Chain A
Amino acid sequence: MTDFPLLSLLTFLPLFGVAFLLGIRGDQDVVERNARYVALYTSFFTFALSVYMLMRFNPYDDGFQFVERYEWLPSLNIVYQLGIDGISLFFILLSTFLTMTCILMSWQSVKTRVREYMVAFLILESFMLGTFCALDAVLFYVFFEGVLIPMFLIIGIWGGARRVYASYKFFLYTLLGSVLMLLALIVLYFQNGTSDLLTLLENPVSPSLQFWLWLAFFASFAVKMPMWPVHTWLPDAHVEAPTGGSVILAGVLLKMGGYGFLRFSLPMFPDASTFFMPLVMSLSVVAIIYTSLVALVQDDMKKMIAYSSVAHMGFVTLGIFSATAQGIQGGIFQMLSHGLISAALFLIVGVLYDRLHSREIAKYGGLVKNMPKYATLFMIFMLGSVGLPGTSGFVGEFLSLLGTFTAAPVFAVLGASGIVLGAAYMLWLYRRVVFGTPNTEEAAGLKDVNWREMTVLVPLAGLVLFLGIFPNAVLSRTEPSVQRVISQYQNGLERYAGPKDPLSRGHDETGHGKTRVEEGAPE
């Protein structure tokens, strides 16, 4: 318990900005200019606060820190509880950093309904932070699902030509996965009589029930992640979303799936996770190889990056479900690294789109002549995506494959082949866009990145290189929490390792299901 509600402040700070935004009065020009600045300041302060949180974070503590707990629905034993550990820490930083980046990047590319755009982004930021901070299952679900509303509007209002289709597909796909998780959460709640995540983590349910609950959670996280074959919403959503939307989608929303696996599936359902490990690993390997091949034949730059996201997320699931320290560390690192790199790549595409209003690879070429700074930045991110040593992409892929190798060598070998394919499509993309001769006249006369784009892209490039060279800055802080997750996983496995008691499940259900009835009656 801390005396100061740091996490609540962090989570709801963007909403203060929203209140300001709604209060702006005046001409359209004034409103738009002020809306941009209010959103930028708000996201900056939120980011600064998250950095402050990073400084205060105790890297040797393996438990949850900054925990806050308030009554919310006392009669149902549902609490408002926030707290972070090493796993959520960096996702929070990623969210605040990328939101700020997006607002800066959308400065000129968003011209219509600027105020609403900024409102949607700040609400989105608040929900993302809430998802990573929540330590109550219902609270987690509220934030996790609430993200759909602003994202639906961002894709649908500011998106491209097929935005309506893409926004529907995104919304309904994700919702379908999530509602099943909601039911599983309710079942978990009745098993323990509370939705407090700390209690849930300590009390794994019986293996037979784990099986179903794991599947329900998997439905939600696999869609969010996204894993093959439920990834098809992603290319549509990415392509149609405005640049800022794509960045947040790739940078943060996809990570909610991986975060969910780490927070719920692995520690709470250890037996089921072990049982389904071959399934997850097969799907991951298929994703890595198949979507890499699909990425290879794309004509649309955004679509190619979208498919590459699916492939990169495959490494994450490989690493997480290897259930080894290296694998999970690698999975987390890969998510952070992909958050930065894919966000940067979408911004890189956005730079071109702002100038030529086309994402078609064939329209560009020879950009290196007029845009040397752009070509350099693009190269850093491209190499990061490929996984070149010295960039953050290498560390993530290497560690997750290492973990997989100790757990399931075959999958590691197959997964590693995906790296080759990844190098193929990224290098080819770079060659076609940056080198050679310009394919169109417009492409020959493009201006290099301006100072505003530089201020966005250079820090990203710096981070990609920094994390590639000093991965320990992240890994040392995630280590204790990862060890805790693994020990929870191991303890869970041992707990039901003995002869299975067929009666335990039925007994538990009736015992807890009636608790509330008995409590409610005598008042």
Chain B
Amino acid sequence: MNGFEWAQMYPMIPEAFLALSAMVLLVSGTFPAVVRSGLIPVLGILAAFTSCIFILGMDWGLAGGGGETTFFVLDSFAAIVKLMLLVGVMASLAISTGYLRLENLREPEYTALILLAAAGMMIMVSASNLLILYMGIELQALSLYILAAFYRDSPRSAEAGIKYFVLGALSSGLLLYGCSLIYGVSGTLDFAGIGTYTDQNPGDLLLLTGLVFLIAGLAFKISVVPFHMWTPDVYDGAPTPVTAYFSIVPKLAAIALLARVLFDPFAAVEDQWRPILWFLSASSMILASFAALRQDNLKRLLAYSSIGNMGYALLGITAGSVTGLGTALFYVLIYMVMTAGTFGCVLALRRDEREITDIPDLAGLSRTNPYMAWALALLMFSLAGIPPLAGFFGKLLVFQAAIAEGMIVLAVIGVLTSVVAAYYYLRVIKVMFFDAPKDPLDPSPEFARRAVVLVSVLFVLFFLIKPAPVLEMTDMASDTFFYEAANDG
């Protein structure tokens, strides 16, 4: 490492701060009084918030590394995605406080692991080097494995953790193998160097093989078909707050990483990776919409819903254009807000001091808990993509991006599967509104959870009044790559 300077670590401050906070929280967890006070999740939210402020205060054009090479970048793409990630972290911590208290899951490790996973994801988003990329992925994956098995006494949670770990290790292996192939042929780990090599040798078969493995590894993290098998079981088995975290945050990091890899070093072989993404997107949309039809468990249903939604997000990336990437981010952002609200409701579904996750148990919720029922109904309509709710605009824009690039077939698959998917979202509404009521739910007055649900519902309802700012933000993020490409060219 010649020429290493501390100043080069400057772009990593938000991640470093988050990791340090996690450690401080772990230490403070040794004091029982702190744990009992329930302060730790609040401190976790505070840490994420401070990290946000760091990002907002920093210059979004930074790169860090050792000497000649760049390991780590904080461009506007990374900054905006990180802000979205951190908001997701805060939301998922906020909605889970009440649940954790009721289920006696108050260990400080929970919050610490969430923060560590978030730090890992932020590193993924900023990685500009295959090693950093792998490090980020493993940091978040290892934290998530433990979180999935966090309910130590429950065999299902342990099963979820093991399943996730084994399959996750396999995918990491694929990814690493891809990285080694790419490194082998290009002789560099650096994205810029790989980009130069790709520009010169776009037909290099070994390089392309490496790229395929890399995409496969990342597809596992995004959980798109055919790398989705773990999702329903892990979603189902993991404690519900963890499921909420799984579906709100890590997908965005993986999508962002995939986008960076594809649009930065592998932009020159776009015609090679577009068919792969085409297939991933189409198969996810098709399989998820049909498989979800038969689910009776809300968590499994949301697992398939997330697979399908990632299919739509990939549709935007498959378009391979600046608009496409922007709309993919836009789609994921709206999806995150809707999912946060949905899980905010799901986490409060308790009857007789036990949580309920079966859809038939929601029968007649509109009579017994009308506010919750209306909130869930609006979120379901929005997930189904019915205007005038926010979910529709996400779909509209990805279809628009797809058609702009002439991918009519994929767009047709997309709209048809969205009709199939509408059926299972409607089913939740049907059970809540059309069926005869059961006993009311236990009251769940936590302020933070309600606030998240309220914000999410208001967002979904009133998004159409001023959609432009959100779109401008995601467009600004996606412009990063094309800007660079234009400057290089």
Residues of A within 8 A of B (CB): 71-76, 138, 141-143, 145-146, 148-149, 152-153, 156-157, 163-164, 167-168, 171-172, 175-176, 179-180, 182-183, 186-187, 189-190, 509, 513, 516-517, 520-521, 523
What's the Cα separation between A145 and B396 when bound, in Å? 13
Q: With a CB–CB cut-off of 8 A, which chain A residues contact B366? A: 157
Contact of A176 among B399, B419, B433, B464 (CB under 8 A): B419
Contact A73 B422 (CB under 8 A): no
- A-chain residues with CB within 8 Å of residue B471 when the two chains form the complex: 73, 75-76
Question: Which residues of chain B are within 8 angstroms of A72 by Cβ–Cβ distance?
Answer: 467-468
B322 adjacent to A521 (CB under 8 Å): yes
Query: For residue A71, which residues in chain B have a CB less than 8 angstroms away from its CB?
Result: 468
Say yes or no: A145-B386 contact (C-beta < 8 A), given A72-B467, A75-B468, A138-B396.
yes
Within 8 A of A (CB), among B454-489: 464, 467-468, 471-472, 475, 479, 482-483, 486
Nearest CB on A from B362, distance (A): 15
C-alpha gap A343/B157 in the complex (Å): 57
The one of B386, B430, B434 that contacts A146, using a Cβ cutoff of 8 Å: B386
Shortest Cβ distance from B367 into A: residue:
A113
Minimal beta-carbon separation of A184 from chain B (angstroms): 10
Whether A183 touches B399, Cβ cut-off 8 Å, given contacts A145-B386, A521-B486, is yes
Contact A179 B416 (CB under 8 A): yes
- The reply to whether B426 and A187 form a contact with Cβ atoms under 8 Å apart is no
In the bound complex, CA of A74 to CA of B469 (Å): 10
Q: Does B323 count as interface, using CB distance less than 8 angstroms?
A: yes
Question: Contact string, B439-459, partner A, CB cutoff 8 A, digits 1/0?
Answer: 000000000000000000000
Min CB gap A326→B, angstroms = 36
Alpha-carbon gap, A254 to B394, bound state (A): 28
A141 neighbours in B (Cβ, 8 Å)? 387
Contact B483 A521 (CB under 8 A): yes
- Residue of A74, A152, A509, A520 near B426 (CB, 8 A) is A152
Least Cβ–Cβ distance between B192 and chain A, in angstroms = 21
Q: Which residues of A contact B392 (CB under 8 A)?
A: 142, 145
Task: Tell me whether B404 and A190 are in contact (CB under 8 A).
Answer: yes
Q: Which interface residue of B412, B415, B482 has the most chain A CB atoms within 10 A?
A: B415
Measured between beta carbons, the chain A residues less than 8 angstroms from B468 are 71-75
Q: Which residue of A lies closest to B405 (CB)?
A: A513
Answer yes or no: B423 CB below 8 A from chain A CBs.
Answer: yes
Q: Report whether B479 and A521 are in contact in the complex, using a CB–CB cutoff of 8 Å.
A: yes
**Nearest opposing residue in chain A for B412, CB measure:** A183
Residues of chain A within 8 A of B326, CB atoms compared: 520
Question: In the complex, are the beta carbons of B426 and A171 less than 8 A apart?
Answer: yes
Asked whether B185 is an interface residue with its Cβ less than 8 Å from the other chain, the reply is no
Q: Which residues of A contact B483 (CB under 8 A)?
A: 521
Are B475 and A175 neighbours in the complex by a CB distance under 8 Å? no
- Chain B residues near A163 (CB, 8 Å)? 434
Please name all residues of chain B whose beta carbon is closer than 8 Å to the beta carbon of A516 when the two chains form the complex: 323, 404
| Structural contact, A172 and B433, CB atoms closer than 8 A | no
Q: What distance in Å separates the Cβ of B50 from its nearest Cβ neighbour in chain A?
A: 31
Give the residues in chain A near B386, CB-CB below 8 Å: 145-146, 148-149, 175
Q: Which residues of B contact A74 (CB under 8 A)?
A: 468
- Residue contact B396 to A521, C-beta cutoff 8 Å: no
Are A156 and B434 in touch, CB under 8 angstroms? Answer: yes
Residues of A within 8 A of B430 (CB): 156, 164, 167-168
Please, which residue of chain B has its CB at the minimum distance from the CB of A177?
Answer: B419
**6 A-B interface contacts by CB (under 8 A):** A75-B471, A143-B388, A163-B434, A176-B416, A183-B415, A189-B400
Chain B residues with CB below 8 A from A138, complex form: 396
List 5 A-B pairs, minimum CB-CB distance, nearest first. Answer: A179-B415, A142-B387, A156-B434, A513-B404, A176-B419
Cβ–Cβ contact A75 & B472, under 8 A: yes
B226 interface residue (CB < 8 Å to A): no
* Bound CA–CA A175/B479 (angstroms): 34
Q: How far is the CA of A142 from the CA of B322 in the complex (A)?
A: 25
Measured CA separation A517–B479 after assembly (Å): 10
In the bound assembly, the distance between CA atoms of A249 and B202 in angstroms comes to 58
> Could you say which of A146, A156, A168, A517 contacts B433, with CB atoms under 8 Å apart?
A156
**Which B residues from 295 to 330 make CB contacts under 8 A with A?**
321-323, 326
Please tell me if the beta carbons of B464 and A187 are within 8 angstroms of each other in the complex.
no
In the complex, the chain A residue whose C-beta lies closest to that of B420 is A172
Q: How far is the CB of A142 from chain B (nearest CB, A)?
A: 4
- A interface majority secondary structure: helix
Given contacts A190-B400, A517-B323, 14 further A-B pairs with CB under 8 A are: A73-B467, A74-B468, A75-B475, A76-B471, A143-B388, A146-B386, A146-B387, A148-B386, A168-B423, A171-B422, A175-B386, A175-B419, A183-B412, A521-B482
Q: Are A509 and B479 in contact (CB under 8 A)?
A: no
Q: In the complex, A327 Cα to B304 Cα: how many Å?
A: 50
* A186 and B464 within 8 A (CB): no
The answer on a CB contact under 8 Å between B403 and A187 is yes
Q: List residues of chain B with CB within 8 A of the CB of A187.
A: 403, 408
Contacts of A172 in B (CB 8 A): 419, 422-423, 426
- B406 at interface by CB-CB < 8 Å: yes
Nearest A residue (CB) for B395: A182
Q: Which of B403, B411, B418, B471 has the most CB of A within 10 A?
A: B403
A517 cross-chain contacts in B, Cβ below 8 A: 321-323
B474 CB, min distance to chain A CBs, angstroms: 11
Which of these, A142, A146, A190, contacts B403 with CB under 8 Å?
Answer: A190
CA distance A28 to B211 in the complex (A): 64
CB distance from B480 to the nearest CB of A (A): 11
Q: In whole Å, how far is A16's beta carbon from the nearest beta carbon of chain B?
A: 15
User: A186's contact among B381, B399, B434, by CB below 8 Å, is which?
Assistant: B399
Complex-state Cα separation, A137 to B217, whole angstroms: 41
Chain B residues positioned under 8 Å from A76 (CB to CB): 400, 471
Complex CA distance for A75 and B386, rounded to whole angstroms: 22
Question: With A and B bound together, what is the CA distance between A156 and B429 in angstroms?
Answer: 10
CA distance A127 to B78 in the complex (A): 40
Determine whether the beta carbon of A520 is less than 8 Å from that of B422: no
Contact B323 A520 (CB under 8 A): yes
Contact (Cβ within 8 A) A523 B479 = yes
CB of A212, distance to nearest CB on chain B (Å): 9
Bound complex: CA A145 to CA B393 (Å): 13
**Measured between C-beta atoms, what is the minimum distance from B282 to chain A in Å?**
15
A20 nearest CB across to chain B (Å): 17
Asked whether, in the complex, the Cβ of B475 is within 8 Å of the Cβ of A149, the reply is: no
Q: How far is the CA of A183 from the CA of B434 in the complex (A)?
A: 32
Selected contact of A183 from candidates B406, B408, B467, CB within 8 Å: B408
Q: When A142-B388, A517-B323, A520-B322 are in contact, do A182 and B399 touch as well, CB less than 8 Å?
A: yes
B467: chain A residues within 8 A (beta carbon): 72-73
- Least Cβ distance of B392 to chain A in Å? 7
Q: What's the least CB distance linking B422 to chain A, in Å?
A: 6
- Supposing A146-B388, A171-B426 touch, asked if A182 and B419 sit within 8 A by C-beta, the answer is no
Distance of A522 from chain B, by nearest CB (Å)? 8
Q: Is the CB of B400 within 8 A of A186?
A: yes
- Which of B322, B433, B482 has most chain A Cβ within 10 Å? B433
Q: What is the minimal beta-carbon distance from B358 to any residue of chain A, in angstroms? A: 18
* A317 CA / B249 CA spacing, docked (Å): 50
Near A by CB (< 8 A), chain B positions 343-389 give 366, 381, 386-388
Which of A74, A138, A167, A182 has the most CB atoms of chain B within a 10 A radius of its CB?
Answer: A182
Q: A183 vs B386: C-alpha distance in the bound complex, in angstroms?
A: 14
Q: Are A149 and B419 also in contact (CB < 8 A) when A513-B406, A517-B321 are?
A: no
- Enumerate chain B residues within 8 angstroms of A509, measured Cβ to Cβ: 406
Give bound CA distance, A168 to B405, whole Å: 34
Of A74, A148, A149, A523, which is in contact with the most chain B CB atoms at under 10 Å from its CB? Answer: A149
Docked pose: A109 CA to B156 CA in angstroms: 50
How far apart are A14's CB and chain B's nearest CB, in angstroms?
14
Closest beta carbon of chain B to A121's beta carbon, Å: 16
Closest to A518 in B: B322
A152 to B432 Cα, complex, angstroms: 13
- Closest chain B residue to A144 by CB distance? B387
| Docked CA distance A90–B367 (Å) | 39
Chain B residues with CB under 8 A of A176:
416, 419
CB distance from A81 to the nearest CB of B (A): 15
- Shortest distance from the beta carbon of B476 to any chain A beta carbon, whole Å: 8
